[in-house]
């Protein structure tokens, strides 16, 4: 496939962000999507240029880098999320206690600062809100996978 006079080829997935960034720095690939914590050091050192962040709001680590939605594709959002999960069937009282403690930790300056240094933005809330988020993401990506005919290998 050619684009703008430059040859582009599809590449098999890398076995991690590190090898992909190494190839990007070495000029073996032209671009990549990378987690902010993995790329931040090279961006700050001027070795890589961040073109956009995929969240709906700018990153606190890269405040001068526009979102993809701002720069080119309104409504575009692909965000990396982390969650505290418990086995199905965990008693509701245990879930409520874990959620209360997690939200209390996310409210502390120490944890917020640590997450910020890693490019994270805490989103405290009830378990039901995160469950709804998981369902929305599953529906969104399932539709895309079906539409373009992706198959697991």
Cut 0.85: pTM above it: no
In this prediction, residue 18 has a pLDDT band, given cuts at 50, 70 and 90, of: very high
Task: Supply the pLDDT for residue 23.
Answer: 94
Residue 104 has pLDDT above 80, yes or no: yes
> In angstroms, what CA-CA distances link 4 with 9, 24, 104?
13, 19, 51
| Mean pLDDT rounded to a whole number for the chain | 88
Domain boundary assignment for the chain: 81-153
Long-range own/partner contacts, residues 13-16 (CB < 8 A, 24 or more apart) = none
Residue-wise pLDDT for 32-48, tens only, equals 999 998 999 999 999 99
Task: Supply the pLDDT for residue 46.
Answer: 96
> 92-106 vs 109-117: helix axis angle to the nearest 10?
80
Residue 105 has pLDDT above 90, yes or no: yes
């Amino acid at each position: 496939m050619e684009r703008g006079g430059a040859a582009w080829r599809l590449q098999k997935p890398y076995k991690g962000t590190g090898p992909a960034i190494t190839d990007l720095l070495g000029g073996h690939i032209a671009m990549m999507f990378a987690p902010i914590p993995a790329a931040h050091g090279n961006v700050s050192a001027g070795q890589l240029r961040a073109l956009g962040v995929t969240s709906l709001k700018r990153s606190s680590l890269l405040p001068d880098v526009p979102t993809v939605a701002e720069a080119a594709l309104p409504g575009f959002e692909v965000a990396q999320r982390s969650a505290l999960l418990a086995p199905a069937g965990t008693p509701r009282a245990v879930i409520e206690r874990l959620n209360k403690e997690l939200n209390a930790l996310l409210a502390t300056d120490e944890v917020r600062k640590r997450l910020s240094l890693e490019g994270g933005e805490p989103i405290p809330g009830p378990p039901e809100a995160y469950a709804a988020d998981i369902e929305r993401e599953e529906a969104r990506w399932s539709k895309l996978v079906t539409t373009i005919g992706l198959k697991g290998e």
